[in-house]
Structure 1
């Protein structure tokens, strides 16, 4: 992974050494944060949940071409208006939202392997958006759309309540340093927001390669009264989630990966 795409330490502006050395999707994927202690003096309305961390990165010629040629069909503009899923996809099917798909390889493979389900991916990183659009073209996918915007705002303004069959959050930034833990995406305020957009019986699938974060995820998701764990603790990796190149490399080095799958009560 290029240094320019590594998470930055929010206090010193330097790459976080722990994250920079992690050979997994934790480095690749965009992730969320909840504003940390340095924003504690802001008024309540300014302490917002954010689903991403901006990264530097260069858009390749192939990614730019995909943005130009496939963007008009598959890249949906952000709008403050609820989506009509059947109109968006041209059919009525279950819809799954992915938050922070990174470079989109797993997203494209999942959509290809689940043709009877429609997928919406949210990502703010232009190279990642371009890379996923290229995969859409290469694989001939029709059941995948992309929104380049903050997923929290997309949820609030574009996703109808109770409409999603599932939500995927794979390898969000682990924010290894203890003083940065509050910036992790999976925290109670966001989870409460997510479940309002799940249909009864809909699922929330999170995955991480950082065990302390997995423990936090298990605690936070377990405390949400509208969710039920589908496993006794961590779940077996569902067959639809492919192993990424970073995950494969991490597993070969003996690193663990933890999946959590919770369902909304009917």
Structure 2
């Protein structure tokens, strides 16, 4: 089953609602083609496994594998692990998090993109059960020691370096790198305390649009420059003309969520509509609303007047 957060009425969903039954909840971040996920699900049929993966192609391969093997205790989310942790996992509910061979982002200027940083470990502590843990397996020694130091800095975990379990070395990349003779590193981070800072689910909204009066512009050239938004950036990538108006392909990056969505500027029975298109069921977040506000401001510079503002 694929999880579509935009269609969930409740954030985070109850475990029983998401899986159809109760049981120990496990999160796997970066499940790749799903072979490890499938093995784990069959070995632990009472576990409820939520997987997060940013690669659409990998999600499709994993989904087909699970369907083919008749595995029913896994739910897949196409997106970033921290977003799934924040919005799909109830506080204090996780038995385990599994991170196999995460992207090490080896260049110095890219290290802020690494998953296993102090902030992540602090927030993870709010979702783990008492005594819950995170298992890390990697072939990148520098990132491994970086993760150890980041976790120890929080004071919230007992950290144990161990030999990697054999099952963790049967992922796609592990099999490839084992043949190449690489060394593997493994650690268990067990929660011993919890960060006191609340980490509520991402706020989402029902609508983000405005109605304006005036003439629809003959063209709508928008500068392809970054627009600062709360916790991130938005960019108008491309504008296409349709029969009723314009469609604006927009890229929105927020703290733990990246979306490509369509904004519309078109005629309606009440004036000129400027706002989010429902195509693709985007999540309407504060960042998306800010992108719509920027679009409305641009239309204002072209002489249109706002008569209803729902941004």
Common fold: TM-score over 0.5: yes
Give the structure with the larger strand fraction: 2
Is it true that 1:167 corresponds to 2:97 in the alignment?
Answer: yes
> Cα offset for 1:153?
2.3
- Tell me how far apart the structure 2 counterparts of residues 262 and 203 of structure 1 sit (CA, whole Å): 5
Equivalent position of 2:261 in the other structure? none
Deviation of the 1:240 alpha carbon: 4.5
Aligned pairs for 1:26-175 within 5 A: 74-79=1-6, 81-175=11-105
For residues 130 and 249 of structure 1, the distance between their equivalents in structure 2, rounded to whole angstroms, comes to 21
Equivalent of 2:171 in 244, 248, 263: 244
**For the Cα contact (< 8 Å) 1:118–1:144, is it kept in 2?**
yes
Q: Which runs of 5+ in 1 are unaligned?
A: 1-73
- Could you tell me whether the CA contact under 8 Å between 1:110 and 1:242 is conserved in 2? no
Q: Secondary structure at the match of 2:12?
A: coil
Contact 2:157 2:191 in 1 (8 A): yes
Gaps spanning 5+ residues in structure 2: where? 194-311
**Aligned-residue offset at 1:242:** 4.5
Alpha carbons of 1:152 and 1:239: their partners in 2 closer, same or farther (altered >3 Å)? Answer: same
Q: Secondary structure at the match of 1:141?
A: coil
Say which one has the larger Rg: 2
Q: 1:261 aligns with which of 171, 180, 188?
A: 188
Q: 1:100 to 1:152 in 2, by over 3 A?
A: same
CA distance in structure 1 between the partners assigned to 2:168 and 2:102 by the alignment: 15
Matched, 1:212 2:212: no
Q: Deviations over 1:15-57 (max 9, x none)?
A: xxxxxxxxxxxxxxxxxxxxxxxxxxxxxxxxxxxxxxxxxxx
Paired position in structure 2 for 1:228: 158
Shift of 1:176: 1.8
Structure 1 pair 198/183, CA: closer, same or farther in 2 (3 Å)? Answer: same
Are 1:172 and 1:208, in contact at CA under 8 Å, matched by a contact in 2? yes
Count of aligned residue pairs for this structure pair: 190
Question: 2:126 maps to which residue?
Answer: 196
Q: CA deviation at 1:239?
A: 4.8
Q: How far did residue 179 of structure 1 move?
A: 2.8
**Aligned 8 A contact 1:170 1:207 in 2:** yes
Moved over 3 A (4+): none
**TM-score, normalized by length of structure 2?**
0.57
Partner Cα separation in structure 2 for residue 167 and residue 246 of structure 1: 19
Matches within 5 A, 1:20-31: none
SS of structure 1 residue aligned to 2:86 = helix
Ranked by relative contact order (alpha carbons within 8 Å, sequence separation 6 or more), the top structure is 1
Distance 2:60 2:67 in 1: 11
In 2: Cα distance, 1:101 partner to 1:227 partner: 24
> In the alignment, what sits opposite 1:71?
none
- Distance of aligned partners of 1:228 and 1:158 in 2 relative to their CA distance in 1, 3 Å threshold: same
| Partner-residue secondary structure (3-state), 2:57 | helix
Deviations 1:158-180, CA, capped at 9 Å, x for gaps: 21111100111111111122332
Aligned 8 A contact 1:113 1:240 in 2: no
2:213 aligns to what? none
Instruction: Give the distance between the partners of 1:187 and 1:134, measured in 2 at CA.
Output: 32
